[in-house]
Structure 1
């Protein structure tokens, strides 16, 4: 079984309170224009007209060569953490990059692929069946933006 894991609530609340992002900058405040602005905490699209943040996020515990950082959207106001066994609402594109990581947060070579969205649960389960894999990331196939982490449940 798998679990879609949002960015931690403590990190989301820090950004929502104006804490610096992974680049040391204050998150930018914008207004959502609707679909295509996926919050990485509630794992839902930020509704049209709602305040949102755009910021640089590193979904790893510390900088190292494999610790990619990049832009994400986040609800500007506190939102409830999403996640669970079901494919989150934010995964609405036709395909995504899937990539597995080791316990020391390094890419496990040979695990990366662009996969159809509907196959993400099965693809994640297959990678997580390998004892060398600690977790999986899903990233945008078009822009490489971090979407969500997948853990064993």
Structure 2
């Protein structure tokens, strides 16, 4: 078995636990029930099914305050779910385009030269490998190319 070169991160479980405990997301909004069948769930990194109880929340992939911190809408399970095993590689149902990959430095700043667009049906892995080899890059945010919303983030395994 080969050693993974990166880890894949859904929304952190502590953020989701706080959301469920307080009834407020990172922007202070109450979670909104939403029929999101087929949309990616950012808690377990798979498409929502008709049986899933889904809510729409605001999420900030960069947790620390900075001018680069963006807050946007994402779908998650309304209640606890198994989450995503960060060492299991790219989520099979969310690893193709159309996607935009955006690389960030350890200070949270966006590296404009580390932005890639992956076309419809293309595997994002080659572009991720290229970006994660850029010196000083801390993580890559995988986003929808159409709605531009955050899907998950990827870090080098050594991070």
Q: TM-score normalized by structure 1?
A: 0.88
State the alpha-carbon separation in 1 of the partners of residues 95 and 6 from structure 2. Answer: 19
Q: 2:101 corresponds to which residue? A: 98
Give the drift of 1:31: 4.0
Q: 2:60 corresponds to which residue? A: 58
Moved more, 112-121 or 131-140: 112-121
Structure 2 contact 96–122 (Cα < 8 Å) conserved:
no
Q: 2:141 corresponds to which residue? A: 137
1:30-79 per-position Cα deviation (integer Å, ceiling 9, x unaligned): 344x212x111111122213211101111112232211110000011101
Q: 1:47 aligns with which of 46, 49, 55?
A: 49
State the alpha-carbon separation in 2 of the partners of residues 47 and 13 from structure 1. Answer: 22
State the alpha-carbon separation in 1 of the partners of residues 123 and 49 from structure 2. Answer: 26
The change in CA–CA distance for 1:90 and 1:39 in structure 2 (over 3 A counts) is farther
State the alpha-carbon separation in 1 of the partners of residues 82 and 51 from structure 2. Answer: 19
State the alpha-carbon separation in 1 of the partners of residues 62 and 54 from structure 2. Answer: 22
Cα RMSD, aligned residues only: 1.9
> Which consecutive unaligned segments of at least 5 residues does structure 1 have?
none
Listed as ranges, the matches of 1:78-117 within 5 Å are: 78-82=80-84, 83-91=86-94, 94-116=97-119
Q: 2:31 corresponds to which residue? A: 27
Structure 2 contact 97–124 (Cα < 8 Å) conserved:
no
Give the drift of 1:127: 1.1
State the alpha-carbon separation in 2 of the partners of residues 142 and 8 from structure 1. Answer: 24
Q: 1:5 aligns with which of 9, 13, 16?
A: 9
State the alpha-carbon separation in 2 of the partners of residues 55 and 141 from structure 1. Answer: 20
> Which SS does the other structure have where 2:148 is aligned?
coil
State the alpha-carbon separation in 1 of the partners of residues 24 and 48 from structure 2. Answer: 21
The alignment of Structure 1 onto Structure 2 pairs a total of residues equal to 151
Q: Structure 1 segments of 4 or more deviating over 4 A?
A: none
Moved more, 133-142 or 89-98: 89-98
> Which SS does the other structure have where 1:118 is aligned?
coil
Q: 2:129 corresponds to which residue? A: 125
